[in-house]
Amino acid sequence: MHTLENLTIIWIGVLLAHFMARATRLTPVLFYLFMGAVYVNTGILPTEPGEFIRVFAEVGIILIMFALGFEESTDNFIAGVKRSWGIAFFGGISPFLTAYLLALYFWEDTNMALVVGLSMAATAVSLTLISLKSEGLNKTKAATGIMTSALLDDIASLAMIAVIIPIASGQATVGLASIGFIMAKAVGFFVVVTVLALWVLPSESKGPLYFVPGLGRFGISHIFAFSRGQRTLVILIFVMLVAISSHALGLHPAVGAYMAGLILREEYFKNAPTAIAGVEEYDDAPEDFKGIKRVIDNVAFVWIGPVFFVALGAKIIFDWDLLVSVIPYVAALTISLIIIQILSAGIAARYTGGFNFAESVMIGLGMLGRAELAFVVMDIAYVQNDILTDTAFYTLMVTAFFMNISVPLSIRLWKPYFVKSRN
């Protein structure tokens, strides 16, 4: 089947997911995952949809993370980091240890247990935040706490991948220097991007670059004096460049995309200079900002972004004989992880982050999802290095699927109590 046909089928599934979400009043993310699983198990989509769909899905998650960062303020994010260290630590180490001990008990293989623990440690931040957005909760302190702690978890997970995979595969032993280098790259990336943003992107019509001879006219406020379509294109190019830079440093491109969203502010669209010949003047820059934001939101959440979640759901291929055999493992792992994740992240949020009870529970629920990083780990361990058995691999895939489904459902169920606590 041609890749364009696959994409069309996926978009049809996205549309059906929106109808089902509207009818059930649940987040469409749940139905994106469902449609992906239905497609691949009924033979409508191939098990390997092709490189084009994979890249398209990756662009989708980049745009989603950018759009979510675009709605957040840098000040709130920095404050969130200060409050979220405990959530990141306890909310990450607890599922790792839980999955590790259960896998060791099930299969009595230390290397396999390490990989199982690693795959269950990273939080599906994009899934959580889009679920919160669909419920109108994405601008709350709890959402910021989830976002920041999940990013910290992803950085830690990347360091753990560099350590655990070589050890589990018998390729090498890794020292503290390697771990430190990975962590330094992550921290350095955040610092450099933030500093450059403060220097290059002015918060007023005349920023620091304006006063540098020969460079002032290249400030962002001047770039944004182009037409709305051109401004949108400039923003998208900026996002992709930051995402590429993030990937080049070994971080997930989505991390860079979110940082790009944090950097851009509404002020950059105000008082835009019109000295460039042939450029129309905008009398209402804030309205122009809203128009650009609507375009980006449509692209991220309606057109391209959902492809990622359908493709994620398509990773669940039902082998019914194998499914029956792994039910006890899946049940034990899923139930244990849900309980431990909610308790560890929720208690940490309450006592290290200062969140109230309802916010703490919401943070615990929001960290239930298993990230795309989990599927990357599974692929490395199962396909590339033959660390996992068929049973262990299938157990992880199904567990991750159920964990991801639990996120939008649990957020929806807890929403009334959460909203009541804020009133």
Q: Rounded to whole angstroms, what are the CA distances from 155 to 15, 114, 254, 295?
A: 34, 17, 12, 30
- The answer to whether residue 193 is domain-embedded is yes
CA 396/CA 386 separation, integer angstroms: 15
- The answer to whether residue 351 is domain-embedded is no
Taking 50 as the threshold, does the pLDDT of residue 273 lie above it?
Answer: no
- The answer to whether residue 400 is domain-embedded is no
pTM for this entry:
0.66
Write phi, then psi, for 2 (nearest 5 degrees): -65, 145
Taking 90 as the threshold, does the pLDDT of residue 333 lie above it?
Answer: yes
Mean residue pLDDT of the chain comes to 75
CATH number, domain with residue 329 = 1.20.1530.20
**Domain containing residue 231:** 3-88+125-341
Taking 70 as the threshold, does the pLDDT of residue 343 lie above it?
Answer: yes
Residue 82, token pair as written in the block: 């200060």
Are 96 and 120 in contact, with CB atoms under 8 Å apart?
yes
Residue range 381-394: average pLDDT? 75
- The answer to whether residue 38 is domain-embedded is yes
pLDDT at 354: 81
- The answer to whether residue 119 is domain-embedded is no
- The answer to whether residue 300 is domain-embedded is yes
> How would you label 317-355 residue by residue, b for 16+ Cβ within 10 Å and e otherwise?
eeeeeeeeebeebbeebbebbbebbbebbbbbbbebbeb
Are 341 and 95 in contact, with CB atoms under 8 Å apart?
yes
- The answer to whether residue 100 is domain-embedded is no
Residue range 103-125: average pLDDT? 84
Please write the tens of the pLDDT for every residue from 1-43. 567 888 889 999 999 988 887 777 666 777 887 898 899 888 8
* Number of domains present in the structure of the chain: 1
Write phi, then psi, for 173 (nearest 5 degrees): -110, 145
Are 165 and 403 in contact, with CB atoms under 8 Å apart?
no
- The answer to whether residue 313 is domain-embedded is yes
Please write the tens of the pLDDT for every residue from 173-227. 555 666 666 667 767 777 777 666 655 554 444 555 555 555 555 555 555 555 5
